[in-house]
Amino acid sequence: MLCLFFSLFPSFVMAANGTSDILSSAYLAVEYVDAVLPENPLQPSLKHAWGYMLDNYTKFQIATWGSLIVHEFIYFLFCLPGFLFQFMPFMQKYKIQQDKPETWEKQWRCFKMLLFNHFFIQFPLICGTYYFTEFFSIPYDWDSMPRWPYLLARCFGCAVIEDTWHYFLHRILHHRRIYKYIHKVHHEFTAPFGMQAEYAHPLETLILGAGFFIGIMIFCNHVFFLWAWVAFRLLETIDVHSGYDIPLNPLHLIPFYAGARFHDFHHYNFVGNYASTFTWWDKLLNTDCQYNKFMEKQEEKKEQ
């Protein structure tokens, strides 16, 4: 796998340069949009709330406990719709693997593993947030708060970086000599559901989770951006693990977005579709070929 990576390094550089050009163009577009947008009517209330937080809590408390609360609240909030879908008969037509419904036993096992990973693996990493912001002089004040178009542009940049890291490391974890020791845990569920997004071996949480932090090292310019990127990444990973292909999904507006059906096939087939967010690495390295053949057969069945 490493030989494959280095043999494709020139292609990777070309793709990275192309992506850089896209991000530069996108950033210029964001500057234009930001200039013509009216002021957010909620801004005074948000400013007051942010000021109250800064006046009553230390930077350490904000970075540590604030980040933990944001992660837990957003994770289970985004899991809630998918959890409720199983009780709504009219939503079952959107379920991808309809012959494999969720069970209480699976959901309870998943929940216990999540609590362990969140508080014994991820929380110690969250405790380093304050020291990260201090080392890189990341601001907390309201005046340095980036406006939302810039937040979206930087989140997109983080997603591009994380997706690249995830593709190659995820593919390595599928190697036959490694798979049964680490990544097999995540594949216990062949029909994924939203809460299962972070159900993984502790080592996998660290290995694949490292890609989350690379973009932060490059793009982070405010502590609020950390929370925005956490929210964006959790929304994306819970969506692709949801097991439901909802037609009116705003995430499908993102260029090259993979979506639930793309990643659901990875759990169903175990091979291919290794990327986390986008489809371009799988297309470039032809690891989506089995998925494409499967979708062609599905379309043929519908036509017949």
What is the per-residue pLDDT across 56-71, written as a single tens digit (0 to 9) for each? 999 999 999 999 999 9
Among candidates 289, 299, 243, 286, which has minimal Cα distance to 267?
243
pLDDT score for 21: 54
pLDDT score for 6: 38
Instruction: Show the low-confidence residues of the chain (pLDDT under 70).
Output: 1-42
pLDDT score for 7: 44
pLDDT score for 267: 96
pLDDT score for 301: 81
pLDDT score for 295: 93
Distance CA 267, CA 283 (A): 18
Q: How far is CA 156 from CA 145, 162, 251, in A?
A: 18, 10, 12
Tokens of 176: 């036959």
pLDDT score for 45: 87
- The answer to whether the CB of 145 falls within 8 A of the CB of 224 is yes
Among candidates 71, 115, 59, 54, which has minimal Cα distance to 229?
71
Residues ≥6 apart with Cβ < 8 Å to 220: 136, 138, 154, 226, 229
pTM, two decimal places: 0.85
